[in-house]
Amino acid sequence: MARHRVIRAAFASVVATALGCGALAAPAAAQSLTDRFKSLFGGGRSEEPAEKPPAPAEGQSGETDVLCPPVAIRSGASTYAVGAPGKEPVGSDLRFQATITRTARECAVNGGEITARIGIQGRIIVGPAGAPPTVQVPLRIAVVQGGVSEKTIATKAYQTTVTMGESGSEPFTLVAEDLTYPAPSADVAENYIFYIGFDPQALKPEPKPKAVRRK
């Protein structure tokens, strides 16, 4: 029992050090973005909201801003925890836990189609059971029309690989650049939203097509 208390205390210390005083759900304002994240969404001051789109240039109507939905983390998909083989990811059996800490988005309107680029930044914390040398982070991005009954307009799964070091905490960044969907009409555009979250199902290989029997 004393050993387990020491392990839990050590893991809590790593989490607090990596994400700052227990701020698991808070934006990682103090963390530096990767070069790719900066080049896509700009390297402005860290206290500026990551999802804030640039102001339209003089003479532009700002239509792109209106048609670029906000980003939200899907309820129940904000963390991704993996346990030791055959074990639940809790206590001393936790291998690692990934958390989304920052997002950004950018949209381009071309005729009747929108191409969105979504940036996701997060952090992986090593658990008491120890993480593998590399971690596959499964994520899903969906364009959803909100309302009385939600309607999924487009959805796509993504993966990024993170090499784990000896610090017990590693950042990860994913920039999805190929999400396209039909531009919504003006009366429903404000109901659109980008939902992001971890999706462990994305790590499973797609089922093989069934062989067609020849007559």
Q: 3-class DSSP state for residue 29?
A: coil
Is residue 98 exposed (0-12), middle (13-18) or buried (19+ Cβ within 10 Å)?
buried
Q: For residue 94, what pLDDT is reported? A: 96
DSSP state of 7: H
CA 133-136-142 angle, to 5 degrees, is 160
* The pLDDT of residue 13 is above 50: no
Confidence of residue 137 (pLDDT cuts 50, 70, 90): very high
To which H or E segment does residue 40 belong? helix 35-41
Q: Would the CA dihedral through 30, 36, 40, 44 be positive or negative?
A: positive
Q: What are phi and psi of 194, to 5 degrees?
A: -90, 115
What average pLDDT score do residues 115-140 get? 95
Confidence of residue 58 (pLDDT cuts 50, 70, 90): very low
Whether the pTM exceeds 0.85: the reply is no
Nearest Cα neighbor of 125 from 9, 197, 18, 20 is 18
Q: For residue 147, what pLDDT is reported? A: 82
Confidence of residue 195 (pLDDT cuts 50, 70, 90): very high
Q: What are phi and psi of 63, to 5 degrees?
A: -60, -35
* The pLDDT of residue 209 is above 60: no
**160-187: pLDDT as tens digits:** 999 999 899 999 999 999 899 999 998 8
**33-48: pLDDT as tens digits:** 455 456 555 544 333 3
Q: For residue 40, what pLDDT is reported? A: 58
Lowest-pLDDT choice from 18-22, 45-49, 103-107, 165-169: 45-49
End-to-end CA distance of the chain: 66
Average model confidence (pLDDT) across the chain: 76
The residue ranking higher by pLDDT, 12 or 38, is 38
105 Cβ partners below 8 Å, 6+ apart?
51, 53, 68, 69, 70, 71, 116, 117, 118, 119, 194
Q: For residue 172, what pLDDT is reported? A: 95
